[in-house]
Amino acid sequence: MERSEVVARDKRHVWHPYTAMDAYIAGTDPLVVVEAEGPYLWDADGTRYLDANGSWWVSTLGHRHPRLVRALVEQAGRFPHTSLAGVTHAPAARLAEELAALSPGGQLPRVFYSDNGSTAVEVAIKMAAQYWAQNGRPGRTRFITLSGAFHGETIGATSVGGVEVFRDVFGPLLFDVVHVPSPAEPAGWERAFAQVEATLRAHPDEIAAVIVEPLIQGAAGMHLYAPAFLRAVREATREVDTFLIADEVFTGLGRTGARFACDLAGVVPDLLCLAKALSGGLLPFAATLATERVFAGFGGGPERALYYGHSYCGNPLGAAVAREVLAVYRDEDVLGQVARKAPRVKAAFEHMAQTIPGVTRPRALGMVGAVDLGTGGYLARAGWRVYEAARRRGLYLRPLGDTVYIAPALNIPDAALEELLAGVEASLGEVALGAG
Ligand code: PMP
């Protein structure tokens, strides 16, 4: 099918995510991907694009990693699917054992599978709420969450979200949460923590859990905050004996330089949500890891079970691929690669802010680097002008409003990383200097 025919059909029928469709249909020439390999995407017109965000943060080992493709095909040739209802299989069982061993402090040995980041969070929310309902604290039904938090798309995950433009329209449908300021505010994390602590102390019988994106508030604009905040929240939740949920859907599996962002902070949460990188960009797959204590709270009669489970939860294809993802991380020393490349990312973004007028707030952690071009938030357009300039240079650099960032494959070859950083700098320069 011709490129133009794909686009025509798309514009007639496909409703795109996070997209103002009128403008898209009227004016956007989308990438039409026909092939992907490593850090690159190929358009049907033959143009090669460097994928600056690993296709929405999933392809941490690059596109079409041969070992992942082989694991998928081999599993598909045996049995592609079975439910996990009274059934198990080696990929799910062995993956759970491996994730348990890798979990922070080795202390989250119980693994509940689902489909994506939002469901991994939804599971954690329900586990926390049900745990307290049936273990002597039925008043614990509220969650503390951070302004600027992003935890996913479902109504539960949206309820604990803190990005107004994504949640306000659904306001009447969302459950009540306690929002505290973002620990990433320039004034520092202490103000956010003071409110977490005060809320926990004032309402110890109401709070089911504190939920955080550890160290980076991703979708809000790559806002970094201090590990000390995470440690302080862990201590405060321990003091009143309530839960800490770590949503590592974005940060997990090496993005920040450690296996988990929680590890960087030396924190062990009660529940940890994983998706995206877990299946390396091959198919949707997620897991919520729980401590033995949380798991034990569901023991006893059938009325105490967790009545939750998606059709495809723990599916053999995803589990087989995820096991191979973990093996590739080991064999290719992916964390070592990030440690080596992270200083280069940091230096490049600092250089951009120093040398390009109007480019501010350089920040980096692990393989994430970001700057701002304005202060307009998610609906601002400056980042999109950089997107257009980058596209002309062969970069796919989708912004978060005014925030221009990279979150590429963790194993991106050095030459491609340099190409990416140079392209980001040139595109920012073009827009900031008014030629864009
Ligand atoms: N949690 C975090 C921290 C995320 O960044 C995202 C997605 N950007 C989600 C949850 C939701 O994941 P998914 O899109 O796979 O549902």
- CATH number for the domain spanning 405: value is 3.90.1150.10
Cβ of residue 250 lying under 6 Å from some atom of ligand 1: yes
Which tokens belong to 81? 């699917």
Could you tell me if 340 and 318 lie in one domain? no
Confidence band of 432 (pLDDT split at 50, 70, 90): confident
CA distance 146 to 154: 17
Q: What is the mean pLDDT of residues 117-128?
A: 98
Q: What is the torsional sign of CA 395, 401, 406, 410?
A: negative
Q: How far is the CA of 55 from the centre of ligand 1 (A)?
A: 13
Could you tell me if 55 and 77 lie in one domain? no
Fill in the DSSP letter of residue 277.
Answer: G
Residue 339 pLDDT > 70, yes or no?
yes
Could you tell me if 127 and 261 lie in one domain? yes
The residue whose CA is least distant from atom 7 of ligand 1 is 152
Could you tell me if 323 and 430 lie in one domain? no
Ligand 1: which atom is nearest the Cα of residue 152? 11
Could you tell me if 319 and 343 lie in one domain? no
Could you tell me if 287 and 401 lie in one domain? no
Could you tell me if 46 and 107 lie in one domain? no
Q: What is the mean pLDDT of residues 126-136?
A: 98
Asked if residue 283 belongs to a domain, the reply is yes
CA nearest to 318, candidates 92, 38, 132: 92
CA 384 to mean position of chain CA atoms: 21
Asked if residue 17 belongs to a domain, the reply is no
CA nearest to 269, candidates 241, 251, 291: 291
Q: What is the mean pLDDT of residues 269-280?
A: 98
Which tokens belong to 413? 């070859």
CA nearest to 81, candidates 284, 257, 319: 319
Q: What is the torsional sign of CA 212, 274, 281, 414?
A: positive
Question: Of the candidates 266, 297, 331, which is a domain's last residue?
Answer: 331
Could you tell me if 287 and 186 lie in one domain? yes
Alpha helices (H) along 280-360:
292-296, 316-331, 334-355
Domain CATH for 301: 3.40.640.10
Cβ of residue 121 lying under 6 Å from some atom of ligand 1: yes
Residue 436 pLDDT > 50, yes or no?
no
Ligand 1: which atom is nearest the Cα of residue 157? 10
Residue 378 pLDDT > 80, yes or no?
no
Question: Of the candidates 331, 362, 384, which is a domain's last residue?
Answer: 331
Q: How far is the CA of 354 from the centre of ligand 1 (A)?
A: 32
Could you tell me if 149 and 241 lie in one domain? yes
Could you tell me if 190 and 293 lie in one domain? yes
9-23, 200-214, 367-381: the lowest-pLDDT one: 367-381
Cβ of residue 118 lying under 6 Å from some atom of ligand 1: yes
pLDDT reported for residue 434: 76
Which structural domain, as residue segments, surrounds residue 39?
A: 31-64+333-435
pLDDT reported for residue 186: 87
Q: How far is the CA of 5 from the centre of ligand 1 (A)?
A: 32
Which of 55, 249, 378, when mutated, tests ligand 1's pocket best, judged by the most ligand atoms within 8 Å of its CB?
A: 249
Cβ of residue 151 lying under 6 Å from some atom of ligand 1: yes
Question: Of the candidates 279, 312, 331, which is a domain's last residue?
Answer: 331
pLDDT reported for residue 1: 84
Could you tell me if 289 and 364 lie in one domain? no
Q: What is the mean pLDDT of residues 91-98?
A: 98
2-11, 39-48, 347-356, 368-377: the lowest-pLDDT one: 368-377
The residue whose CA is least distant from atom 13 of ligand 1 is 117
If you average pLDDT over every residue of the chain, what do you get?
A: 96
Bridge-based pairing of strands 177-180 and 142-146 is: parallel
Asked if residue 9 belongs to a domain, the reply is no
The residue whose CA is least distant from atom 15 of ligand 1 is 117
Cβ of residue 122 lying under 6 Å from some atom of ligand 1: no
Which tokens belong to 40? 């690159």
Q: What is the mean pLDDT of residues 99-110?
A: 98
Confidence band of 408 (pLDDT split at 50, 70, 90): very high
Which tokens belong to 388? 């257009």
Of all residues in the chain, the percent with pLDDT exceeding 90 is: 94
Ligand 1: which atom is nearest the Cα of residue 284? 15
Ligand 1: which atom is nearest the Cα of residue 57? 8
Of all residues in the chain, the percent with pLDDT exceeding 70 is: 99
Could you tell me if 250 and 361 lie in one domain? no
Q: How many domains does the chain have?
A: 2
Q: How far is the CA of 49 from the centre of ligand 1 (A)?
A: 24
